[in-house]
Amino acid sequence: MFNKRIKIKTLLAQDPESYREQEVTVMGWVRTFRNNQFIALNDGSTNTNLQVVAELGKFDESLLKRITTSASLKVTGAIVASLGKGQTMELKAASIEILGDSDAEVYPLQPKKHSLEFLREKAHLRFRTNTFASVFRTRHALAFAVHKFFNDKGFVYLHTPIVTASDAEGAGEMFRVTTLPFENTPRNEDGSVNFKEDFFGRSTNLTVSGQLEGELGATAFGEIYTFGPTFRAENSNTARHLAEFWMIEPEMAFYDLEDNANLAEEFIKYIIRYVLENNREDLDFLATRLAEEEKQLPQDKRSEMGLIEKLEFVINNEFQRLTYTEAIDILANSNHNKKKKFQYPITGWGMDLQSEHERYLVEKHFKKPVILTDYPAGIKSFYMRLNEDGKTVAAMDILAPGIGEIVGGSQREERLDVLLEKMKAMNIPMEEMWWYVDTRRFGTVPHAGFGLGFERMIQFVTGMSNIRDVIAFPRTPKSAEF
Ligand code: ATP
Ligand code: MN
């Protein structure tokens, strides 16, 4: 058997005494090799390298020459207590096998600090850096926590389709899915493309959200969630937009807006607590990284709290809840607005909030996560439930410090007549949406749900300021390498 190895994380967690005289095998990649004697070996299980000692004179010069940065090794030997600083144990190598050479002349990553921008160009290798290893182990832990949270509550994980025919959701620009040829494209008499000739016999797109299908699940199982990729062809080159991102969308029958907000707050706190308890080493590393990065910033641009402190603050304090109408009042009366410091001035009730407004509320005014509810019907989607006042809908957005919108959700319009009227007014084609409307015809119930952008959540938890650094292979305008 080849893979009779112990992971470095497992090894380091043990008392070195328990390994006395025992032979272990580790495998991993060389981070550094000092004095022709000390190998820092990393196997991806932790950022802490295992020190492997190749005693002087014991190994051939030709072998030692091949121990270069990122070469892969299989090392067998005895664990001994270490005298070195910051490590409890080291491995005294009895045998070293080179599994794969790495030419130091051309290996792009040096054992020094690289910028995040540089590493984005080397995304195929960036997992081998401490920062990205910590980010992606944290991403994994958060994903696991998402499933655990919903599973433990009895939600059904529903896999909604990636290819969809409806373009009614209106969440963003869509990518078209087609097998039609670019040349001699089949056309109708009026010159438009004849999608009857296309693969699915109609025009199809990549999904922008699993919500509409999620509602079909919720109105049978009671509570479902989706967790999958979504796509938006929006040409926004920001640090918080991707063309391909992952979204978590729970959808619950017998929930109103308040139940929805309660669930979202509980969920966010749960997954943060989960990583604080289970991924502390990586979070501590990322906290230190962030603190160092912020040292470069002018005083007023630095965060008031460290990363861990911020996460603990979020799980230990209630989110601020207020209505859109109250938010407009706060914004309109703020000194920031009076001094004309917003790029988009507050023009009054009915306007859509820009991210600068959201950030003002969260970062300057409340200094904590905010749940904004009850938006004007005119700026929100057709499926959101009309409130008693006839002009607002039971929508909610959750805004997080440093990120802005992290959750968008609502109570859904369950009243058939109100929904049909709304669809007509907003030009939502019935031919495409008949199946959705059927849920309101056959045993309709009050229900609600929300969508959490997974990468924005990871940004919040890891302190990474660019969304491209929390997804393995970012898809953004003009960029789909790797
Ligand atoms: P924004 O105003 O920030 O573009 P949105 O209103 O388009 O967001 P929704 O349609 O409500 O967002 O999507 C639900 C969630 O998905 C958002 O709260 C956000 O966390 C995430 N999200 C939306 N668009 C993107 C994107 N392009 N890249 C990454 N995450 C996104
Ligand atoms: Mn958007």
- The confidence band for 302, taking pLDDT boundaries of 50, 70 and 90, is confident
pLDDT 10s digits, 254-267: 999 999 999 999 99
Whole-number mean pLDDT of the chain? 94
> Can you give the pLDDT at residue 169?
63
Q: Is the CB of 408 under 6 A from ligand 1?
A: yes
Nearest ligand to the CA atom of 240: 1
Dihedral sign, CA of 187, 189, 190, 196? negative
Q: Which structure tokens are listed for 139?
A: 């991403």
Query: Residue 292 pLDDT > 80, yes or no?
Result: yes
Q: Model pTM greater than 0.85?
A: yes
Query: Residue 170 pLDDT > 70, yes or no?
Result: no
Our mutation pick for probing the ligand 1 site, out of 379, 456, 458, 475, counting the most ligand atoms within 8 A of Cβ, is 456
Report the C-alpha gap between 236 and 354 in whole angstroms.
14
Q: Is the CB of 233 under 6 A from ligand 1?
A: no
How confident is the model over 44-67, as a mean pLDDT? 97
Please, are residues 217 and 158 in contact by the beta-carbon 8 Å criterion?
A: yes
Q: Calculate how far, in angstroms, residue 188's C-alpha sits from the geometric centre of ligand 1.
A: 36
CA 28 to chain centroid, in Å, comes to: 27
Pairing between β-strand 176-177 and β-strand 204-206 as defined by DSSP bridges: antiparallel
For residue 406, the ligand 1 atom closest to its alpha carbon is 20
For residue 232, the ligand 1 atom closest to its alpha carbon is 27
- The confidence band for 131, taking pLDDT boundaries of 50, 70 and 90, is very high
Report the C-alpha gap between 3 and 286 in whole angstroms.
31
Query: Residue 88 pLDDT > 90, yes or no?
Result: no
For the chain, report the end-to-end CA distance as a whole number of angstroms: 33
Q: Which structure tokens are listed for 240?
A: 């918080």
CATH architecture of 8-111: Beta Barrel (2.40)
Kindly report the three-state secondary structure assignment for every residue of the chain.
CCCCCCCHHHHHCCCHHHHCCCEEEEEEEEEEEECCCEEEEECCCCCCCEEEECCCCCCCHHHHHCCCCCCEEEEEEEEEECCCCCCCEEEEEEEEEEEECCCCCCCCCCCCCCCHHHHHHCCCCHHHCHHHHHHHHHHHHHHHHHHHHHHHCCCEECCCCCEECCCCCCCCCCCEECCCCCCCCCECCCCCECHHHCCCCCCEEECCCCHHHHHHHHHHHCEEEEEEEEECCCCCCCCCCCCEEEEEEEEEECCCHHHHHHHHHHHHHHHHHHHHHHCHHHHHHHHHHHHHHHHCCCHHHCCCCCHHHHHHHHHHCCCEEEEHHHHHHHHHHCHHHHCCCCCCCCCCCCCCCCHHHHHHHHHHHHCCCEEEEEEEHHHCCCCECECCCCCEEEEEEEEECCCEEEEEEEEECCCHHHHHHHHHHCCCCHHHHHHHHHHHHCCCCCEEEEEEEHHHHHHHHHCCCCHHHCCCCCCECCECCC
CB atoms within 10 A of CB 137: 22
Query: Residue 335 pLDDT > 70, yes or no?
Result: yes
pLDDT 10s digits, 38-50: 999 999 999 999 9
Dihedral sign, CA of 66, 72, 76, 79? positive
Report the C-alpha gap between 375 and 242 in whole angstroms.
25
- What residue type is assigned to position 143 of the chain? A
Q: Calculate how far, in angstroms, residue 101's C-alpha sits from the geometric centre of ligand 2.
A: 45
Q: Calculate how far, in angstroms, residue 171's C-alpha sits from the geometric centre of ligand 2.
A: 7
- What residue type is assigned to position 211 of the chain? Q
- The confidence band for 303, taking pLDDT boundaries of 50, 70 and 90, is confident
Show Cβ contacts of residue 117 under 8 Å, excluding neighbours closer than 6 positions.
none
> Can you give the pLDDT at residue 171?
63
Q: Whose CA is nearest to atom 29 of ligand 1?
A: 241
Query: Residue 2 pLDDT > 80, yes or no?
Result: no
Q: Is the CB of 471 under 6 A from ligand 1?
A: no
How confident is the model over 113-134, as a mean pLDDT? 95
- What residue type is assigned to position 165 of the chain? A
> Can you give the pLDDT at residue 17?
79
Q: Which structure tokens are listed for 459?
A: 């940004």
Please, are residues 242 and 455 in contact by the beta-carbon 8 Å criterion?
A: yes
pLDDT 10s digits, 440-464: 999 999 999 999 999 999 999 999 9
How confident is the model over 99-103, as a mean pLDDT? 97
393 beta partners: 375, 386
Please, are residues 222 and 254 in contact by the beta-carbon 8 Å criterion?
A: yes
Q: Calculate how far, in angstroms, residue 453's C-alpha sits from the geometric centre of ligand 2.
A: 11
Equal CATH topology for 8-111 and 128-154+261-467: no
Report the C-alpha gap between 11 and 42 in whole angstroms.
12
Q: Is the CB of 463 under 6 A from ligand 1?
A: no
CB atoms within 10 A of CB 482: 13
78-92, 227-241, 346-360: segment of lowest average pLDDT: 78-92
pLDDT 10s digits, 192-237: 999 999 999 999 999 999 999 999 999 999 999 999 999 999 888 8
Q: Which structure tokens are listed for 430?
A: 């019935």
Report the C-alpha gap between 275 and 478 in whole angstroms.
34
Our mutation pick for probing the ligand 1 site, out of 383, 398, 405, 450, counting the most ligand atoms within 8 A of Cβ, is 405
Q: Whose CA is nearest to atom 2 of ligand 1?
A: 405
Q: Is the CB of 171 under 6 A from ligand 1?
A: yes
CATH architecture of 128-154+261-467: 2-Layer Sandwich (3.30)
Q: Calculate how far, in angstroms, residue 240's C-alpha sits from the geometric centre of ligand 1.
A: 8
Q: Is the CB of 409 under 6 A from ligand 1?
A: no
The full set of domain ranges for the chain reads 8-111, 128-154+261-467, 174-207
Query: Residue 168 pLDDT > 70, yes or no?
Result: no
Query: Residue 137 pLDDT > 90, yes or no?
Result: yes
